Structure 1
């Protein structure tokens, strides 16, 4: 048997006591995790713009729109042929069978500072009843902004990640076949002016509204550049004095974004996805002591066909009717006491003890919030 170590002499323990106290003080005084300003804020006015367009995808293997149900496909193809110098009469245009053509909507994001000649990615989605866009080619389509002006021109071969096959009434499909992407599929034709060099200052917009973060951003900038160089206007915006020269302003913003600030504890929030039943809690969520009773109500409806046979020589008809049997089962709800939970792990353990489904948990969390025992904000998405 291993001998036990003798206790430390009292004078040795007395000498170690200040070291232990100093170590504990250092542990509690450790700085919070630091992030860069570029990770919590962005320069206002530097933003992307949404582009959209209406076009045609050709070269499909008989999986295009059914023109009898989608007349705008025939009209769009007739307009395109007319631009190419081919004129069709109304009678001939109405007889077009365009099984290899599909009408699509193109969407794209024009990034900030994009210049004419640069390429951007685009997404293509079917707007008709095309079965698949796989193997199709998008013909030249102008992309317009919210002001109606053309900012890019899209064209190229589509990339569709889905696959499918059908035969004898059976169908197998993997992923989505009516939408795809074209990498570098649009060329920028017009630049959007950015008010980056306007005025004597720039404004930083925080990603989330928080007065503490806004104050710390302003303090970090003033500590680096000098007093009164940055002012927190509210919980979302910080105004910073900047040089007027374009080159100097770019260097100034680049250095500004690299400044580090300490992160603040997030506000307690519970996010509920009502469609999928998902519940997400952050680390600041706490529970007060409460009691929860929850029972399940099940309604079962079974239908049994009943055949009514007429008497012989009565000239009646055999009638099939349905006999419905309805049963209602309600399980007893046990009263469960939920203790006070100051940490996220305790909250999760307390909620798991209820043993309910995620859909039931949505209603329970809302009820706990209404009772004042949930110290968090509920957000339903």
Structure 2
């Protein structure tokens, strides 16, 4: 009886061990290993780039190119300001959120022409502009801004078209005049032409209708001296802002002593013979009692020249302001080429200026990379994009040679920065 009980227990143990073994074998089947975790560390390695059209990029795609959320927001706002579409690389480069270094990195991958392709109508729609939607014959004089948007123009373009119509006196008058609207590209016009309910040519008696009706009604002529009249004064005489600036600049650049006789005004190309006859009875040129003291530009330091002196030399306000503003950011010019590299200047006239004026660089602040003030690094146009790296590296390596080595800059950027390094 005891032996029988013993064998039962033994059989039970064997059965239990068999079940446990089978369970262990089942549960110990090879499991898929957990994927290896790789931590992406921030690196200065360049972003992997391929050809792209900046007009089709989303916010996320701009960020993938290496821009911050704030920079992307600025770029998209700039895109709206220029009409909702970038038309050239030159235009995109002017967005201040894109640094010179970043633009140089992206430039060869941007699917845009180098310059505005308005002068080359065959390519004006090359990069996927919105197609025209024209349902039938249309009278452009009766279209609202919303109607132009439905056809395929942006809201800003639609507003510009209506402003142009108002400039013409409330009517496009003819296809010829409609075609002159700068918003209407050659390709746009080709598509719209068959549907326009306008005469092809402008009638002779209407060619200057808007000029006669719009301008003459606002002009109140009075005696004036053309040598003292500023741009606003010329605009009050019926000239556009652009024409007024041309007259003022013509007088400053070409006439050292100003207009001597009324007939001298006819030499300025924006004053037509008809307009001159209207102005002539009111022209009163006063004799100058004493010539104002003029600046001796051969003794005027380019790092101290004033806004007024630049105007006196013949530069317009935009050019003069750009030079003064850029000089202030730099802390002073180190060489004359920097002045020629300034944006929005009359380069021909500036070249003449720097050939006459001396450049004194003794007061221009210069520092070593290891000792330069943080504010100076972060605000200087040549250093601000590398400022954080310089500040970081010099904590451990307060030696200029090592810092230059770690920065790994393009030769042209390093050369430019060294102009302001001791």
TM (normalized to structure 1)? 0.23
Q: More helix by proportion, 1 or 2?
A: 2
TM-score (norm: length of structure 2):
0.21
Which of the pair has the greater relative contact order for Cα pairs under 8 Å at 6+ separation? Answer: 1
Bigger radius of gyration = 2
Higher strand share: 1
